[in-house]
Amino acid sequence: MENKEQLEKQQRERRDFLSCLGSAIACGAATMAANAASPAAAAATAGGAVPAIPNFDWNKHQWAFGVDAEKCIGCLRCVEACKRENNVSPDAHHFRTWVERYVTLEGEEKARIDSQADPVNIEASGGEGQYRFANRYKDAKVEKAFFVPKLCNHCTNPACVQVCPTGATYKTEDGVVVIDHTYCIGCQYCVQACPYGARFFNEEKGVTDKCTWCYHRITKGLQPACVEVCPVGARIFGDRNDKQSVISQFIQNHRVQVLRPETGNAPNVFYVGIDKDVS
């Protein structure tokens, strides 16, 4: 983890970047009147303006994320790292990423599901700012159990971007759905539209919030915080434009799935090792 000064500098840079981008979008949106009301058209909102990030050209990248659920051990370091890196409120109701546990007991048809935000797990961890899965099935006969990390899917046709009335949330050219916190009016229509529950309202700032794949990090050649801290390599991130990148290899070498493909959102988080109960 960086020290406080570096963190502040990063945040400042991020703010400058978003502010610059926000102005560009504001101007761009006026010329968008001819856009058809489709998610695909909405996704193209960011077209044109290139943000001034040193040594970074968003036209040269196409980011994607992989989750290997076979590897996840539910340690929740990713959740903690994300909360710290992105200053997410430490309570049990605001998460940019979370981990779900699926447990099928002998004789049961459906999996029992919980996340670190479940009251039982919070009690076991000692508080809302601590993240741990309680050993609640230790006396049960478990037939099958696995963990599934969740985060924003940075969809190709994001429903959240489609419904945003101001264009404050938009998709960057390199495939990341971000929010301009200086332009968001806080109506929460995007929170409603996301079928994955990936968005939440930041009550302190009065705007919506979500995972950005740590855009402030990836544009500097770093990995998202959750990927960085994962001890088992269950989270994979990279550039699909680079055919040799870990994410390109991950997608090429596995039969990957996306969540809720029927929505037409076309997610860009690719899963391996999930089961029928996962959505």
Partner 1 sequence: MDALFHASPFTGYVYPNETVIPWTVLIVVYPYLTGLVAGAFTISSLYQVFGFTQLRPVAHFALLVSLCCMLTVPIPLLLHLGHAERAFNAMITPHTTSAFAVFGYAAGFYILLLILETWFVFRPHIVQQSQQQTGIMRWFYSILSLGSDDLSEKAMSYDRKWLFTLAIIGIPGAHGLHGYVGFVFGSLKSREWWSSDLMPVIFLLSAIISGTAFVIVLYVLSCKLRKVSIDEACMKVMAYALWGFMMFTLLIEGVEFLSLVYRGREGIDVILEFVTGPLIIPFFILQFGVGSVLPLAIITFLIWSGTSGKALVVGITGSAILVLLAVLMMRYNVVIGGQEISKTSKGLLAYHPPIFGREGLLAAGIVLLIPLILLSVLVRLFTPWHDAPQAA
Please report, as ranges, the residues that interact with partner 1 according to CB under 8 A. Answer: 25-26, 29-30, 32-33, 35-39, 41-42, 45, 92-95, 98, 100, 113-117, 150, 159, 161-168, 183-189, 191-201, 203-208, 263-264, 279
Nearer to partner 1, 181 or 216 (CB): 181
Cα(258)–Cα(89) distance, integer angstroms: 28
Bridge-based pairing state of the strands 63-68 and 112-115: unpaired
Residue among 116 and 268 whose Cβ is closer to partner 1: 116
Q: Minimum Å distance from CB 3 to partner 1?
A: 28
For partner 1, the closer CB: 39 or 238: 39
Q: Least distance in Å: CB of 117 to partner 1?
A: 4
Q: Specify the DSSP element, H or E, that contains 160.
A: helix 159-163
Q: Is 251 left (phi over 0), alpha (psi -120 to 50) or beta?
A: alpha
Residues in the chain: 279
Q: In whole angstroms, how close is the CB of 262 to partner 1 at the nearest point?
A: 9
Which of residues 164 and 247 has its CB atom nearest to partner 1 in the complex? 164
Q: What is the C-alpha to C-alpha distance for residues 130 and 143, in angstroms, rounded to an integer?
A: 28
Return d(Cα 160, Cα 195) in angstroms, integer.
Answer: 9
- Give the nearest distance from C-beta 103 to partner 1 in angstroms: 11
Q: Residue 211 burial (CB < 10 Å; 0-12/13-18/19+)?
A: buried
Nearest residue (CB) to partner 1, 6 versus 38: 38
Shortest approach of partner 1 to residue 211 CB, angstroms? 11
